[in-house]
Amino acid sequence: MSTYREIHGKAVKSLDTDPSAETDAGQIWYNTSSNTFKSIVNTSAWSSGAPLITARGNMATGGTQTATFAAGGGNPTKQNKTEEYNGSGWASGGDLNTTRSYLAGCGTVPTGLAFGGFDGAADAATEEYNGTAWTSSPNSMGTARYALQGAGTQTAALAFGGTPPALTATEKYDGTSWTAGNAMGTARRYFAGFGIQTAAIAAASGPPAIATVESYDGTNWTAVNSMNTARMSLAGAGTTTSGVVFGGGPPASTATETWDGTNWSTSPATLATGRWHIGGSGTGTAAVGFGGRNPAFTGATEEWNNSANVITAAAWSAGGAAPTGTAGSAYAGTKETGQMWGGDTGTGPWPTASFEYNGSTWTSSGSIPTAHNGQGRAGISAPAVLAFGHSQPGTNTETWEGDGSSWTTQNALNTGRGFYGTGCGPQTAAVGVGGNTSAGAAPGVSNAHENYDGTNWTSKTVFPTSNDWVASVGTQTALFAFAGFPYTGNSWDGSSWTAAPSNSLGIPNYFGGSGGASATSAYMFGGYFPPSWANTIYTEHYDGTAWATQPNMATAKGNFGGNGASSNGLFAGSSYPNVTGTEEFSTGTAAINVKTLTQG
């Protein structure tokens, strides 16, 4: 019998801690701390990502799991929108010059290519993307078509198949013009395609749905082993030796199959949302699927990983129920330890009660000196929190030190105003920007900007625009202020204000939650959506340059206490009139999949 050393060229190591690198996959070691043999093994799984800004299907796509684009498409109205995915969320890109659906794409971000499609008739137009804008190529494809597929790069692309009718035509693009290539063996439309210009795969087709597959070597197409499940309008990613296809129909499918260059294998990992007309990009081991319909169009995004890492997606999860549903309450701290106070229950005088949260349950923590609604808040972590302002308006300032019994009145703000749960910084270095200077929610906005040093408030350079309900994240010398009414985005460096992006959804966010790790990592979530003033579920993240979507909250909320001192500690509190449920947000994580080996 061969030994482990003879087979693998190395001995079984004795280690007191487990390895943590993906490159250690397949290695066996003996853990001396647990007295067990262990190994790192590959796993295959889909995990949820942030949704597209605009739900749609039949898009031009290209890129990797962490840098992909989706251009055009339909829902069913034809689109010219482009969105870019950064592995965390979607942000708006430049619009296509020709509005169309059922088009194909390839390339990367920021060098993408889109071609063909349907704009009322079959189209041959070609456009090149530079990460900001699309430029129409003077040379269109030789055959106008839609429901085709593409592979390759912006300067070495391949277009194949399409309709009407179902086509075998193949064309190559060299960055300037298209030339005809040898035809496929089977006419295909509404199918999956992936690879490069000289090595591509065409899989399935319909209607009717088929499972046959062809491989391209740069000159000829050759039939290879068929997929296990016949379907159409699916997506794929990868190369001729390592690929993956997913989704499709009819009916809308969750099925995933992997390709090793010879055979197809049905994966036990399936999409959470079955759909066809889905988009996809990436590699055979790290792909992303997005959009599609089942039967309605969706923006759902999922990431495929076949690796030694176990991926846990970013998500909102239920927290402990609050004592009561309140509007205009303030929340300071994180999802593990926080303080909520004040607000409006809609059924009588404003409450004076405050409550402390420990990550799962709420407990009473005394009463604020005066009943308040719409106070500002600061405090990186409870119990050291700061309350300031008042919706009537007021200059009140109070601190809570977590002594289990009382709030303490401090020196007043210079400008009385309501903040509706916004504000940032630690208790002794807080910031209050903008605010409402009239009773209730009547017009009356402020451009005041004040810093608190633990004793007094000091007026600073005024905010560029008088703004009500403006959120802020950061410190007194590195601040990002956003949202509010009118909607805004501005950065403060300790001496001056600079205009910054507003958001990616184009949806004003009033009375929402906000939080983040710093001025270059900010979150907004929930809030009111005018003109109907309906509560929203949207979540977005700002990375210091641009906004991108994040997973949505489960329950729409507006005018609620929400905060988070770090990117992994967002908290959404209760909301008016009767929403007592709270939610906690955690960013995605990746961990090595270590398995204990047992005899069996």
- In order of 188, 370, 523, the CA distances from 212 in angstroms are 10, 73, 46
Residues 509 and 403 in one domain: yes
Query: For residue 594, is it within any domain?
Result: no
Average pLDDT over residues 310-338: 82
Question: How much is the pLDDT for 586?
Answer: 85
Tens digit of each residue's pLDDT (9 = 90 or more) over 507-555: 666 667 888 888 998 888 888 766 666 788 888 889 998 888 888 888 8
CATH number, position 489: 2.120.10.80
Region of residue 50 (left: phi > 0; alpha: psi -120 to 50; beta: else): beta
Residues 29 and 135 in one domain: no
- Domain end marker among 245, 268, 298: 298
Predicted confidence (pLDDT) at residue 17 exceeds the cutoff of 80: no
Question: How much is the pLDDT for 77?
Answer: 96
Residues 125 and 178 in one domain: yes
By residue range, what is the domain housing residue 287? Answer: 57-298
Query: For residue 592, is it within any domain?
Result: no
Average pLDDT over residues 290-303: 97
Tens digit of each residue's pLDDT (9 = 90 or more) over 483-497: 877 788 899 999 999
Residues 13 and 71 in one domain: no
Residues 353 and 497 in one domain: yes
Residues 568 and 526 in one domain: yes
What distance separates the 2 farthest-apart alpha carbons in the chain? 85
Residues 505 and 565 in one domain: yes
Question: How much is the pLDDT for 381?
Answer: 59
Number of domains in the chain: 3
Query: For residue 382, is it within any domain?
Result: yes
Query: For residue 327, is it within any domain?
Result: yes
Do residues 128 and 90 make contact, with C-beta atoms less than 8 angstroms apart?
A: no
Tens digit of each residue's pLDDT (9 = 90 or more) over 72-98: 999 999 999 999 999 989 999 999 999
Residues 327 and 196 in one domain: no
Query: For residue 451, is it within any domain?
Result: yes
Query: For residue 48, is it within any domain?
Result: no
43-49 and 104-107 strand pairing: unpaired
- C-alpha closest to that of 158 among 110, 97, 219, 117: 219
Whole-prediction pTM value? 0.81
Question: How much is the pLDDT for 407?
Answer: 86
Find all residues with CB under 8 Å of 377, minimum gap 6, and list them. 330, 331, 332, 385, 386, 387, 388, 419, 421, 422, 423, 561, 563
Tens digit of each residue's pLDDT (9 = 90 or more) over 137-188: 999 999 999 999 999 999 999 999 999 999 999 999 999 999 999 999 999 9
Residues 85 and 118 in one domain: yes
Residues 146 and 35 in one domain: no
Do residues 40 and 47 make contact, with C-beta atoms less than 8 angstroms apart?
A: no
Query: For residue 596, is it within any domain?
Result: no
Q: Give the number of other CB atoms < 10 A from CB of residue 273.
A: 18
Query: For residue 394, is it within any domain?
Result: yes
Residues 149 and 276 in one domain: yes
- Domain end marker among 243, 272, 298: 298
> How many degrees, rounded to 5, is the angle at CA 243 between CA 237 and CA 248?
60
- Domain end marker among 298, 332, 358: 298
Residues 376 and 263 in one domain: no
